[in-house]
Amino acid sequence: MEFAANKSTAALVALAVLWALEGWIPFFHDFNERGKRYPHAGRNFALGAFNALVMGALFSGLVVWASTQARGSGMGLLSWLGLPAWAETLFAVLIFDAWMYLWHRLNHIVPILWRFHRVHHSDPRMDVTSGVRFHPGEIALSFLFRIPVVPLLGITVWQLAIYESVLLPIILFHHSNLAISGKADAVLRWIIVSPNMHRVHHSDWQPETDSNYASVFSWWDRIFRSYRWREDYHAIHYGLREFADLGWHTLKGILKTPLHKQK
């Protein structure tokens, strides 16, 4: 329970703060129109709340069990390395972020995974609530793949909680419609995924969609040659062209997205 509560608290605080800041210093000013902002946020937040409450309740216990069993029996990479506690925790955060990079990239490469991940990319507007817009099927698959990965890496429950307490606010930050200076963004994206870097990933042009996969630390994209940049990030068109019709952005349409024939 503490594991789930830790994640939820970090996410809710970040969501509330960034939502308020978007209203004060938005990147796209027209996104703040009530007729657009609130319905968009309502749908995305409803989806995020369902995933957190229902999917999290169904699968979090399995991940915790797998981690506890592995560490109790001395299994996993981190157990074998025998690092000091502080170094082990730091390495756990880094190595799990590398897994998240790989998982995200697989969601763009493997057809069945992309079917579900399209829900996230089909969003025609990008704000902090886009960071919780995921199909329940993608959340379920993510948890199922974590069940073997966590014990193989030997990550403890608290190391995973620390990572996700960092991950969730950063994901919400780089999806936000928050205006920050170009210089600040340039500094940030050498370390973490910045808003302007992630805006490129949400472009409706496939070479840009298939780039910038990192979740927390931006250097994975440079290491694995998936980093992409464009100076005119203000002109990026978001979403996926085959889901331009407004019907795909109702809750019913969002849930039906994986059934749509892939192009």
Q: Is residue 235 part of a domain?
A: no
User: Which amino acid is it at 242?
Assistant: E
Q: Is residue 93 part of a domain?
A: yes
Can you give the residue range of the structural domain that contains 255?
Answer: 2-179+248-259
pTM (2 decimals)?
Answer: 0.92
pLDDT value of position 56? 80
Q: Is residue 205 part of a domain?
A: no
pLDDT digits (tens, 9 = 90+) for 66-123: 889 988 888 889 989 989 999 999 999 999 999 999 999 999 999 999 999 999 999 9
| Angle between helix 2-24 and helix 56-72 axes, rounded to 10 deg | 130
Q: What is the mean pLDDT of residues 190-195?
A: 97
Q: Is residue 125 part of a domain?
A: yes
Higher local confidence (pLDDT), 10 or 79? 79
Q: What is the mean pLDDT of residues 127-143?
A: 96
- pLDDT beyond 70 at 7: no
Q: Is residue 218 part of a domain?
A: no
Q: Is residue 8 part of a domain?
A: yes
Q: Is residue 155 part of a domain?
A: yes
How many C-beta atoms surround the C-beta of residue 78 within 10 A? 22
What is the number of structural domains in the chain?
A: 1
Q: Is residue 232 part of a domain?
A: no
